[in-house]
Structure 1
Amino acid sequence: MVAELFYDASRPPLVVAELSANHNQSLDRALALVDAAADAGADAVKLQTFRPEWITLDADHSEFLIQNESSPWFGRRLFDLYAEAALPLEWHEPLFQRARERGILAFSAPFSLEAVDFLESIDCPAYKIASFECVDIPLIERAAITGKPIVVSTGMASAAEIDEAVCAVRRHQARGPVLLKCTSSYPAPVENSHLVTLEAMRRLWSVPAGLSDHSLSPAPALVATTMGARMIEKHLTLDRADGGPDAAFSLEPTEFAELTRLVREAHAAIGEVRFGGTTDAESHARKRRRSLYVSRDVRAGTPLSADNIRSVRPGHGLATRHYEEVLGRHFRRDLPKGTPLAWFDIE
């Protein structure tokens, strides 16, 4: 079931390749991104579903310009940026089909009620609510009422706003959403990740938590994995040099493949609570530990002493913790130097 991919804590984190605007208005490139995600070992690809008029107004007022000078989109009109970034609706089904052919999941982030209705018409299996839409309660409810898994990226949301989003999902789904820690800057400095928030989200809302990461470093994803992240989302591009609205903070295929490998290794390394000697490798290593050996030729009846027994490697003799216990007792039989000491050799 699709829900298990999002909610089953026994699985490694769901690694999701965000295609976003990196299609650069080419269906062939978008299909190639799905292939690249599958080749890189991703579990899923995520699309974004919108039309510019579903998000903003075609207006020239300053409020509709990006005014943050540190933004890669500084000075651009919102409508123009979204028109460039929008994935044509007619491309969705071919991309979903390509993902199915490659054995990975495809789902999408709707940015409006119209987008949810469209995605329902093509049986989208799960929904992601983007961080900027985390406060859009009608949108969240429209997605949640479908009964499909809901992922909510928290971004700039306060605890109260996150609570509203979680409650909106739980009005229709008892399990609630998967919450993603997200730093809404592009690219995001790793020191702004604040990944201890993952545990706080799990504790406060009793839901799975994960990471939507806009950095170019693997570190946040690996740390999040060791903290029990249920999902890791990263942007994927074929080549940052090709440009595009999201290229600057996207991973190239070889980088994404390495990230996927490291995430899976990090999850495998978590394991379970065990103390030494429980693995096959350690059981062999035990034979190289110190133990008690006869250190010179001895005759039956000779007392055991520091002159004729020693703690040395390998570990085939009595454990060294018995050293004081056996001193002064007598050898039961003649033994040559190098014999591993055993209880039946001692009177």
Structure 2
Amino acid sequence: MKREIIIGEHRIGPEHPPFIIAEMSGNHNQSLERALAIVEAAANAGVHALKLQTYTADTMTLDIAEGEFFIEDSNNLWQGNSLYKLYQEAYTPWEWHKSIFDRCRELGLVAFSTPFDESAVDFLEELDVPAYKIASFENTDIPLIRKVASTGKPVIISTGMASVAELDETVQAAREAGCHNLVLLKCTSTYPSTPENTNLRTIPHLQQLFDCQVGLSDHTMGTGVAVASVALGATVIEKHFTLSRADGGVDSAFSMEPREMCTLVKETEQAWQALGIVSYGPTETEQPSLKHRRSLYIIKDMKAGDVLSKENVRAIRPGAGLLPKHMDILLGKKITRDVKRGTPLTWELV
């Protein structure tokens, strides 16, 4: 597996803390001022990147409000809208992109986007984005993937709903078109998702299948799933982000608030730190604790020639005496000199 990918000034890989992406999506609620406030909140929360989505309603679908163009599923967060109306509400005006990206750079954030058609890729190339993201619903759009991959920039692809065969076709198309830095994101395309439907064990399997880095696009609530993903090898974590869920918006219901995002950044880094290496025996920092292990001590005053027994020898803390495993050998032996209660038992005393 390629060990390291560079996006902006960030190195991404198993040897580095997870790369955290805050997805703004439509949480700006059609206010550039709010969008810029989201950027600042993301930077303050400690994320590494902020991501937009680049489309218009017309590049996504047709202005039809019936049949398959209308969302009637009662379990769908956006039920009662036409696709066209939903995308009109959620899209980020293209004329905002430069202002948002500039503010990201000022605050030290990597700024990039998800294009949904080839015209969006051309537009984002004009803004010189450092990477691209492909959404789950577009991971079978092979022409779009080839277009993005041909830029030669790192490509992050969400795997939601895709079969192994579809992913194989996607990854092959990306690599053949020029993508040498690929990250797949395990993703469940429900909004919100549940931990039970997340299947994080897929992460190491994806790594093995496609010999690339794998992360998580997480639509669950809270931080637990993201933290667990790091333990399974996730190097990138993407979460939707808003100033406040109470403010509403198309994605607000499953988006993190600033305090939650700050917690996620810290806890995923701690999870990564905790992975460490395969290690046995005392670490350097554990060395001082060795003296507090159990060991064999004389627990009664004894005279030279007295016999060691369970009445005068016990395994207790601290650890200055012989190891408890020697108890059976020592019982019945005579001591060589007078000793006081609290003396550690050593070979020299028997």
TM-score (norm 1): 0.91
The aligned counterpart of 1:255 is: 260
Q: Where does residue 206 of structure 1 map in the other structure?
A: 211
Question: Using a 3 Å threshold, how does the CA distance of structure 1 residues 198 and 61 change in structure 2: closer, same or farther?
Answer: same
Q: 2:62 aligns with which of 54, 57, 63?
A: 57
Residue 342 in 1 paired to residue 346 in 2? yes
Alignment partner of 1:318 is 2:322: yes
Gaps of 5+ in 2: 1-5
Secondary structure of the residue aligned to 2:265 is helix
Aligned residues: 345
Change over 3 Å in CA distance of 1:167–1:218 after alignment to 2: same
Equivalent in the alignment of 1:295: 299
Residue 305 of structure 1 and its aligned partner are, at CA, apart by 4.2
Which residue number corresponds to residue 155 of structure 1? 160
Quick one: which amino acid aligns to residue 311 of structure 1?
A
**Partners of 2:306 and 2:334 within 8 A in 1:** yes
Q: What is the identity, as a one-letter code, of the residue corresponding to 2:120?
A: A
> Please, which of 118, 123, 130 is the counterpart of residue 125 of structure 1?
130
Extract unaligned runs of 5+ from structure 1: none
Equivalent residue letter for 1:85 = A
Structure 1 CA distance for aligned equivalents of residues 25 and 110 of structure 2:
16
Distance apart, 1:5 and its partner CA: 4.5
Q: 2:51 & 2:348 partners in 1: Cα distance?
A: 68
1:169-248 aligned at under 5 Å gives the runs: 169-173=174-178, 175=180, 177-248=182-253
Alignment partners' CA distance in 2, 1:234 and 1:27? 20
Does the aligned pair in 2 maintain the 1:6–1:231 contact within 8 Å?
A: no
Q: Is the 8 A contact 1:190 1:217 kept in 2?
A: no
- Counterpart Cα distance in 2 of 1:327 and 1:65: 84
Q: Tell me the distance in 1 between the aligned counterparts of 2:143 and 2:179.
A: 18
- Report the residue type matching 1:184 in the other structure: S
Does residue 309 (structure 1) correspond to residue 313 (structure 2)? The answer is yes
The alignment yields a C-alpha RMSD, in angstroms, of: 2.2
Q: Distance in 2 between matches of 1:269 and 1:82?
A: 41
Please state how far the C-alpha of 1:294 moved relative to its aligned partner: 2.3
- The structure 1 residue matched to 2:38, chosen from 33, 47, 52, is 33
Counterpart position of 2:91: 86
- For residues 180-233 of structure 1, the C-alpha deviation after alignment (integer angstroms, 9 at most, x for no partner) is 121112122322212222222122212221111112132321221211112111
For structure 1, which segment, 38-47 or 331-340, has the greater mean C-alpha deviation from structure 2 after superposition? 331-340
CA contact (8 A) 1:12 1:230 kept: yes
Cα distance, 1:71–1:306 mapped onto 2, change above 3 Å: closer
Task: Give a deviation string over 1:279-311, Cα, whole Å, max 9, x none.
Answer: 52x333322221112223334455544454332
**Greater shift after overlay, 198-207 or 133-142?**
198-207
Question: Is the CA contact 1:240–1:250 (under 8 Å) kept in the aligned structure 2?
Answer: yes
Tell me the SS of whatever aligns to 1:79: helix
Q: Note if contact 2:27-2:241 (Cα within 8 Å) is conserved in structure 1.
A: yes
> What TM-score do you get using the length of structure 2 for normalisation?
0.90
Are the counterparts in 2 of residues 25 and 87 from structure 1 also a CA contact under 8 Å? yes
Identity percentage of aligned residues: 49
Q: Which moved more, 1:167-176 or 1:288-297?
A: 167-176
Report deviation, 1:60.
Answer: 4.2
Query: Deviation at 1:332?
Result: 4.2
Which residue pairs with 2:3 in the alignment?
A: none
Deviation of the 1:334 alpha carbon: 3.4
Asked if structure 2 preserves the Cα contact closer than 8 Å seen for 1:6 and 1:149, the reply is no
1:286 to 280, 284, 290: 290
State whether structure 2 residue 173 is matched by structure 1 residue 168.
Answer: yes
Out of 112, 115, 118, the position equivalent to 2:120 is 115
**How many Å separate the matches in 1 of 2:159 and 2:209?**
14
- 1:211 and 1:204 map into 2 onto residues whose CA distance is 16
